[in-house]
Every structure is written in C-alpha cells, then in structure tokens.
Amino acid sequence: AQTVTQSQPEMSVQEAETVTLSCTYDTSESDYYLFWYKQPPSRQMILVIRQEAYKQQNATENRFSVNFQKAAKSFSLKISDSQLGDAAMYFCAYRLSANQAGTALIFGKGTTLSVSS
C-alpha cells in the first residue's frame, strides 16, 4: 500500500526567509502524481503545486517550488520569500495516475507552518 510521510509536525520561518517542508512516500508504482495542499485557518484546502512523476523537471509556482527525487521517493516543498499569509497546515499527497476509477489522494499527516514578522 502507498504511504506518505511528513516528518515535521511543525515548522517556523521568519518573513522573507526560505523554508523547506519534507515529504517522503512509498510506492511500487512508476506512474503517479504528487501534490502539496495548503489548509489555512479557514479550512479550505488549496492546491499549492503538483508534480507528475514522469517529469524530471521540478515544478515551480511563483514562490513555491519542489525538489522531486523519484529514486529516493522524496518530494519537498520550498517556500521562498515567506509571507504572513503562508501560515497554514501543509499536506503532501500522492495519487496513482489517471484512468483508474475513483483513485483517491493519499495524504501525509501535515506540517503546521508558522510565519513570524
């Protein structure tokens, strides 16, 4: 069975600094997707970034980037120039590739990120 592990229950960063959130996963599959979701106090889950396993290039979205190491089964999220609005719970998630009915996201336990001014 696939599993996702986030080893950092809590992290903190100062405004304008850079922080990296760790995620590892276990799978025997070769074709899958990885996601980072953000959950602010409003509880709404927001997609931060996604990575297709078949792509070697690391995904980036503005201040957010990932370090995807397929052989090591590692998928870390780097937040640059941290802002107060980045404070939230961050979840790493894995999903098998498409064309399988009802394929569900598998989540890690989350990392609470606090940002100080």
Residues that bind other proteins (CB under 8 A): 6, 9, 33, 35, 37, 42-45, 47, 50, 52, 91, 95, 98-99, 101-110
Quote the least distance from Cβ 84 to other proteins, whole Å.
22
Measured from the CB atom, the residue of 83 and 103 that comes closer to other proteins is 103
Whether 5 contacts 28, CB under 8 Å: no
Quote the least distance from Cβ 86 to other proteins, whole Å.
19
Neighbouring CB atoms inside 10 A of 52's CB total 14
Measured from the CB atom, the residue of 18 and 103 that comes closer to other proteins is 103
One-letter identity of residue 85: G
Chain centroid to CA 35: 5
Quote the least distance from Cβ 89 to other proteins, whole Å.
9
Measured from the CB atom, the residue of 18 and 60 that comes closer to other proteins is 60
Residues whose CB falls within 8 Å of the CB of residue 79, separated by 6 or more in sequence, listed in order: 13, 18, 19, 20, 21, 63, 64, 86, 113
